[in-house]
Amino acid sequence: MTPPDAASPHHLLLGSCDYPEHVPRDCWETYARRQRELGLTFVRLAEFAWSRLEPRPGEFDWAWLDEAVEAYHREGLRVVLCTPTATPPAWLIRTHPEILPVDEEGRVREFGSRRHYDFASPVYREHSRRITRAMAERYGQHPAVVGWQTDNEFACHGTGRSYGGASAAAFPGWLRERYGTLDALNEAWGNVFWSMEYGDWGQIKPPNLTVTEANPAHILDFSRFASDQIASFQREQVDLLRELSPGRFVTHNFMIFESGFDHYEVARGLDFATWDNYPTGMLEFFAQGIVGEEDRNHFARTGHPDLVGWNHDVYRGLLRGAGRLGREGEGTPNGFWVMEQQCGQVNWAPFNPLPADGAVALWTAQAWAHGADVVSYFRWRAATMAQEVLHSGLLRHDETPDRGYAEVAALNQARFPLGEVPARVALLHDYESLWLLGAQPHSASLSYWAQTVTYYRALRSLGVDVDILHPDADLGGYAVVVAPAITLATEERAVRWATAVEGGARLVCGPRTGFRTPSGQAWAQGQPGPLAELLGVRLLQFDSLRSGLTQKVAGPEGDFQAHAWAESYRLAGAEATHTYVGGPQGGLPAVTRQGRATVIGAHSDALIRAVLRDVLAEAGVETVDLPDGVRLSRRAGVTLVQNWNPEAVTWEGRTLAPVSFEVVEESTPAGDDPRPARLG
Ligand code: GAL
């Protein structure tokens, strides 16, 4: 097979994650050749290899990695090297046990797996810089090395925050920088409540092990602090890599639905984002409150398209103006990579079903259609040792091709063109709001993720492409802006949103929008705080509905049943389009509208979908009612029609095979005569 490079460079490229340190030396040459023959372009190496790179303090062994890199280079593969700081070796931890992190229960998290470090540890920072410098000096200019990944999956396994040791020691100083005086901190946190006022910076600790819940303001600032530690930890590595490895990209492999840090802050300074896509594991772990039990069975072998799509769209929007593949002129302005793509079954979920036939190809095609420039499979060969022996690779333990391999080979016959994702709808996503709703969810049925992804899912079920952006991003040019759960409002944010609406955008806000100030208190003038004028409402009541308890809502489309959450408003300029019927909020507005600004106070999938459909129609964004599990994604002037269902679906006169995709020309949701596109 011809490597994809031989045709046009401007199409999706593939790669894999390989571990030369896990296999005998005589495998390296063969693996590199087989990867090239499969059509792979990239190989990612060494993210957990510290104990082999520096077996004893200051004693480096580069010979094996030199040889491995050369083996890939000879076959024309491009190497992505990683800083190995997710796995500090035993000698370092035993000499400096203070590097170890402390969990929320106050227990030290021990050596013996990975990610056992506190981001704030000055000792660990020094060693992180030392190993980064050593690797960058050795490989920074190697012709095979096209880029770097920092560390591996920050915050994975709940390691974004350490509640003792170095983090606990650094937290008061960080607060002092932020607030200047204790009076300012006590005021911002509202510490007069329950006599929580501090008289000395040294009295402040992380917000764990409190008798009952900690102050949400305390939790919010600790989350910001922890996020800052990750950002500055990474920045130290990025600075060294920029200095010693010029012309190479620097990225990080982010995670599925990770809440442990502000991704927008941590991504700053990277060339583009990458993320690790495990659709079946994601469905087991993160679908709570978003995808019902029946659907979880239905999509068990593919994962759910919108959970996966959500992550793609988050990472496409994390950084703008980047997207390099290591050579000038490639990639797209908002490009991202999937650094680890599931290509068989995973090992870490409660259940780990085999993916359906066609799933690996479908996942890859969806990644491309959502803006990925590269998809790299995890992992080349299944591990024969340690924690991940039950995880698949492209090759089985015995080096024969596993189920995903043939799908990857077939994908390489196609040429998926790079180009823009033409989204006219922006959905706003904010980690500070996530932390606040996490600190006080008030309804066990409605997390930040559940509320936000419900809106995303409604948009996707209407065949609409979505950009996911920070709430303070430039919103110019969008026809519709959706803010499902931005509970933290600032004066500046209110001005930005008002400017977008004045500029012609339609704004749709979900419940709890603008409830809190930037320090996590309730706005004293009432909610939605500084957004009140733009939205034309004042919050009246909010009702947390236990599972099984519903609240009826009536509107022009008919009746709806809200679950989990229902809030009502006093009209202050807006009009009510939907009203509660019966119950404590009977007769009060449930959905309101002032000019181009809509507020939806009730949580109901059907209501959210109906309101969004109307708003999209008014904004001139074409919608289409897609069957469950059928999705459309557009890129570079073509539409990817996907069927994620385990059975065939007939839609718009065409029969879509189970777990399959088709690429059609023209970016129409339901064109009259869509022709299969010629890819390449
Ligand atoms: C990822 C991680 C990999 C591997 C993989 C297994 O989260 O980055 O190292 O553990 O999961 O699915």
* Nearest partner of 225 among 157, 268, 151, 163, judged by Cα: 163
Which residues pair with residue 649 across a beta bridge? 656
Rounded to whole angstroms, how far apart are CA atoms 251 and 219?
29
Residue-level pLDDT at 332: 59
Residue owning the nearest CA to atom 12 of ligand 1 = 346
For residue 531, what is the domain's CATH number?
Answer: 3.40.50.880
- 523 touches 514 (CB < 8 A): yes
CB 636 near ligand 1, within 6 Å: no
Q: Please compute the mean of the pLDDT values over residues 501-505 and round it to a whole number.
A: 98
Percent of the chain scored above 90 by pLDDT? 92
For residue 241, what is the domain's CATH number?
Answer: 3.20.20.80
* Atom number in ligand 1 closest to CA 255: 7
Out of 372, 389, 411, pick the residue that ends a domain.
Answer: 411
Q: Cα of 324 to ligand 1 centre, how many Å?
A: 24
**388 catalytic residue (yes or no):** no
pLDDT of residue 545 exceeding 70:
yes
42 and 124 in a common domain:
yes
Residue 53 lies in domain: 13-160+233-411
431 and 369 in a common domain:
no
The pairs formed by 491-496 with CB atoms below 8 angstroms and a separation of 24 or more are: 491/530, 493/530, 493/531, 494/529, 494/530, 494/531, 494/533, 494/534, 496/471, 496/472
597 and 469 in a common domain:
yes
Residue-level pLDDT at 414: 85
Q: Which residue has the tokens 């064109």?
A: 671
436 and 485 in a common domain:
yes
User: Does any domain span residue 150?
Assistant: yes
Show the 3-state SS of 279-314: HHHHHHHHCCCCCCHHHHHHCCCCCCHHHHHHHHHH
pLDDT tens string 61-119: 999 999 999 999 999 999 999 999 999 999 999 999 999 999 999 999 999 999 999 99
Residue owning the nearest CA to atom 1 of ligand 1 = 276
What residues contact 25, with CB distance under 8 A and at least 6 apart?
Answer: 64, 67
CB 152 near ligand 1, within 6 Å: yes
Confidence of residue 331 (pLDDT cuts 50, 70, 90): low
223 three-class SS: helix
Neighbours of 668 (CB within 10 A): 16
- 565 touches 543 (CB < 8 A): yes
CB 47 near ligand 1, within 6 Å: no
Residue 366's alpha-carbon distances to 290, 460, 506, in angstroms, are 20, 13, 28
355 and 386 in a common domain:
yes
pLDDT of residue 288 exceeding 90:
no
User: Does any domain span residue 225?
Assistant: no
Confidence of residue 385 (pLDDT cuts 50, 70, 90): very high
Q: Choose, from 153, 284, 407, 432, the residue flagged as catalytic.
A: 153
Rounded to whole angstroms, how far apart are CA atoms 32 and 210?
54
Written as six digits, the tokens of 350 are 């409660």
Q: For a pocket test of ligand 1, which of 153, 277, 283 has the largest count of ligand atoms closer than 8 A to its C-beta? A: 153
User: Does any domain span residue 198?
Assistant: no
Written as six digits, the tokens of 467 are 């950009």
Q: Cα of 551 to ligand 1 centre, how many Å?
A: 42
Written as six digits, the tokens of 553 are 């809502």
Q: Which of 34-38, 100-104, 673-677 has the lowest mean pLDDT?
A: 673-677
pLDDT tens string 291-306: 889 999 999 999 999 9
Q: For a pocket test of ligand 1, which of 19, 151, 348 has the largest count of ligand atoms closer than 8 A to its C-beta? A: 348
- 522 touches 515 (CB < 8 A): yes
Q: Please compute the mean of the pLDDT values over residues 283-287 and round it to a whole number.
A: 88
454 and 356 in a common domain:
no
Nearest 5 degrees, angle CA 339-CA 341-CA 346?
130
Mean pLDDT over all residues of the chain?
Answer: 94
Residue-level pLDDT at 192: 98
Let me know if 444 is exposed, middle or buried by CB neighbors in 10 A (0-12, 13-18, 19+): exposed
505 and 435 in a common domain:
yes
- 90 touches 111 (CB < 8 A): yes
81 three-class SS: strand
451 and 365 in a common domain:
no
pLDDT tens string 389-445: 999 999 999 999 999 999 999 998 888 999 999 999 999 999 999 999 999 999 999
Q: Please compute the mean of the pLDDT values over residues 606-624 and round it to a whole number.
A: 98
Out of 377, 411, 445, pick the residue that ends a domain.
Answer: 411
Out of 601, 618, 635, pick the residue that ends a domain.
Answer: 618
Q: Distance between alpha carbon 400 and the CA centroid of its chain, in Å? A: 33
Residue-level pLDDT at 674: 41
**340 catalytic residue (yes or no):** yes
User: Does any domain span residue 219?
Assistant: no
* Nearest partner of 215 among 507, 482, 436, judged by Cα: 436
Residue-level pLDDT at 5: 38
CB 346 near ligand 1, within 6 Å: yes
Rounded to whole angstroms, how far apart are CA atoms 115 and 82?
14
How many domains, the chain?
A: 2
What is the helix (H) or strand (E) element at residue 570, kind and residue range? strand 565-571
Q: Please compute the mean of the pLDDT values over residues 519-542 and round it to a whole number.
A: 97
Rounded to whole angstroms, how far apart are CA atoms 579 and 582?
10
CB 276 near ligand 1, within 6 Å: yes
User: Does any domain span residue 170?
Assistant: no
Q: Cα of 333 to ligand 1 centre, how many Å?
A: 27
Confidence of residue 335 (pLDDT cuts 50, 70, 90): confident
pLDDT tens string 173-187: 999 999 999 999 999
Let me know if 277 is exposed, middle or buried by CB neighbors in 10 A (0-12, 13-18, 19+): buried
495 and 405 in a common domain:
no
Where do the H-state alpha helices sit in 106-256? 122-139, 165-179, 182-189, 216-244
360 and 301 in a common domain:
yes
Beta 565-571 vs 425-428: how paired, if at all?
A: unpaired
Which residues pair with residue 592 across a beta bridge? 576, 599
Burial 445-473 (b: 16+ CB within 10 A, else e): bbbbbbbbbbbbbbbbbbbbbbbbbbbeb
Neighbours of 91 (CB within 10 A): 15
Confidence of residue 320 (pLDDT cuts 50, 70, 90): low
524 and 400 in a common domain:
no
User: Does any domain span residue 244?
Assistant: yes
* Atom number in ligand 1 closest to CA 342: 12
User: Does any domain span residue 419?
Assistant: no
Q: Choose, from 47, 54, 75, 340, the residue flagged as catalytic.
A: 340
User: Does any domain span residue 167?
Assistant: no
The DSSP letter of residue 488 is: B
- 180 touches 188 (CB < 8 A): no
Rounded to whole angstroms, how far apart are CA atoms 194 and 622?
53
pLDDT tens string 447-476: 999 999 999 999 999 999 999 999 999 999
Q: Where are the beta strands (DSSP E) in 434-515?
A: 466-469, 480-483, 506-509
107 and 30 in a common domain:
yes
Q: Cα of 466 to ligand 1 centre, how many Å?
A: 27
pLDDT tens string 169-228: 999 999 999 999 999 999 999 999 999 999 999 999 999 999 999 999 999 999 999 999
